[in-house]
Amino acid sequence: MNSKLTDMERSKILALAELLVKKEEIYSLCAYGSRVAGYARKDSDYDMIIVAKNVNASVAERHEQEPTKSPPLIIEETALMKDAKQPSVGEFVIGRLLNIYEPIVNAEFLGSVEVEYKKRIIAEKLIEIQSDYGDFSSNLIIPHEYFLFDKLHKRALAYPEAMFSYARTYASDQRKENIEFTLRGFREAAESLASNGIIESIGDSVRIFRGRKKRIYALTELHKMFPLESRGAIRYVVHGFANRLGYGFKTRPLAKLKMMGKVESMVELDRPNKLLRLEEGVIFDDATKMIEELAQIGGFGETYEYEQKKKGDFINSTQQLEIWDDERRVKYVLKHFPELKSIKWAFLNLWSLVAKRFNQSPLSRLNREVEGVRRLNELGIKTHDIIGIVLDERTLVTEYVNGTPLSKFVEEIISGKSTDTSNIAKYGKILGKLHKAGLVYGDTKPGNALVGKDGIDLLDLEQAVENGDRAWDLAEFLYFSATRLEKKGEKKDNKTREEGIKLVAEAFLTGYRSENSGEVVAKAKNIRYLIPFLPFLTSKMIHIVRHTLEKYSSADADNP
């Protein structure tokens, strides 16, 4: 870094330090504050930290000197390093090394202390993020800049008077240089943690490893390096419990302060979560600003209209958002992941006793949806694009996909209105491809797939999982399709309907077997997959489905 101080200024600061601490006892010395950050006035003071070898033995004989507005901070070498590694109330001295400073004596020591401090900041935040967001935390790309502004945000909440210096430091003409200086320390700290296998380093960002085993290892190592105080441990447990219950921890807004002089508003300082990113899509850190930001992403100007309405039945947590102006319209789907207390999920809980255990955690379902989209994209299987996530509201924002639910094609075949089973076979083939890659859909109801002009899109991926129960995927589609036989207001034609479900089942399993073996089909015959659907099926329908499963589990069973 180019020196912000002149040689004369550095000499004066050193001379002042030697008036306060014996020369031979000065272990390190640095300047910080407005003179270094580039926003000083003519009458601004020189802020400094004097690191002494032994404070009690090093205080020099006092000389008459001009009083300073900001008395120099004097701290012992071991105490400063301890503050770097362990949290202390207020972080009164070590907190100065969060931002830009200029070393005058023993720059190497100050650099090592700074890196240790910033390593702890990263560690504490990674523990907090994993506590708050569980498995989903692995989807977050966390820039080094985020750790800086999140820490500044928290310090500003505790010390509102510090807001002025923070804003001037990072909204001034020297912003770029000031940020680059402080990110240097975070970069070195992140690389150190990455070399120990605790995080993944990607450019000027870090990422929490995917996989529960890796995450547990990383958390264990972080706790070894930076043990939580009892108060911190309690907070961690509380956060973990809240995460399981589906609550979120929102960034508290900073107080509006009256400052002297004009200071540019800083979004990063007030809303640090806005710096978080996803592999696909963005983070909406404030639900109240989501529509405005979506309009910006969609390329709309300042003038636009929008409508938000419920999509689906009364137990559905999905909404459709439409934004338009005089020239065009854009649709989005907002899928909220609440606690599962509805009738729908109470019913699924009964299913889980005998057939399939549905994951109910909001964050786990959100994580599976995002992971499912990523995996389907890797496999070349069509699904919706993720626009972003309202993190603390547990809401996924995706593009609106045009198409006809596959359930409509199923019902037309079952009712005798159509014999075209091509889309059913395509769906079975897609599912076979999914299973071959080790991914299980988890909720294969025909209403979750949309047939469009370019193929079939798989939606509602919140139960998708690696190496799950493939047989359930087959059984759910077949038995659920068979339950569509009874429709109010329609005259019963059992023979037509029975022939229809046979066509559906055969087309589906033909498509599936083109990609997969008969082993999974054979397993789907297990009675436990039938039990949840028994109240809704006639014996004849059960016989048709089970007979078709038998047929397709044995035919060419040795040829995947």
Q: Write the pLDDT tens digit of every residue in 85-136.
A: 987 777 889 999 999 999 999 999 999 999 999 999 999 999 889 888 888 8
pLDDT over threshold 50, residue 66: no
Phi/psi of residue 226, each to 5°? Answer: -135, 80
Strands 47-52 and 73-76: parallel
pLDDT over threshold 70, residue 342: no
Greater pLDDT, 193 or 496? 193
User: Which has the minimum average pLDDT: 38-47, 220-229, 428-437, 440-449?
Assistant: 220-229
For the record, the structure tokens of 303 come out as 């003038």
pLDDT of residue 25: 93
CA angle 406, 412, 418 (to 5 degrees): 115
Greater pLDDT, 223 or 75? 75
The sign one gets for the Cα dihedral 124, 126, 130, 132 is positive
CB distance 28 to 110 below 8 Å: yes
Cβ atoms < 10 Å from Cβ of 414? 23
- Output Rg (C-alpha) for the chain, integer angstroms: 31
**Which H or E run contains 452?**
strand 449-452
Phi/psi of residue 467, each to 5°? Answer: 55, 40
pLDDT over threshold 80, residue 82: yes
pLDDT over threshold 90, residue 184: yes
CB distance 160 to 394 below 8 Å: no
pLDDT of residue 391: 83
What does pLDDT average to over the chain?
84
pLDDT of residue 359: 52
pLDDT of residue 556: 53
Say what the pTM is.
Answer: 0.81
pLDDT over threshold 60, residue 300: yes
Burial of 110 (0-12, 13-18, 19+ CB in 10 A): buried
pLDDT of residue 54: 85
pLDDT of residue 228: 61
Q: What is the mean pLDDT of residues 199-203?
A: 91
Q: What is the mean pLDDT of residues 230-249?
A: 41
For the record, the structure tokens of 48 come out as 């400094």
Give the CATH architecture of domain 404-554. Answer: Orthogonal Bundle (1.10)
Question: Confidence class of residue 243 from pLDDT cuts 50, 70 and 90?
Answer: very low
pLDDT over threshold 70, residue 266: yes
pLDDT over threshold 50, residue 28: yes
Rounded to an integer, what distance in angstroms lies between the CA atom of residue 434 and that of residue 427? Answer: 11
pLDDT of residue 1: 61
pLDDT of residue 544: 93
pLDDT of residue 51: 95
**Which H or E run contains 268?**
helix 267-270
Rounded to an integer, what distance in angstroms lies between the CA atom of residue 112 and that of residue 118? Answer: 10
Q: What is the mean pLDDT of residues 294-319?
A: 82
Q: What is the mean pLDDT of residues 527-537?
A: 88
User: Which has the minimum average pLDDT: 163-177, 418-432, 476-490?
Assistant: 476-490
Nearest residue to 259 via CA among 100, 36, 39, 45:
39
Rounded to an integer, what distance in angstroms lies between the CA atom of residue 151 and that of residue 429? Answer: 50
Q: What's the one-letter identity of residue 282?
A: V
pLDDT > 70: what percent of the chain?
82
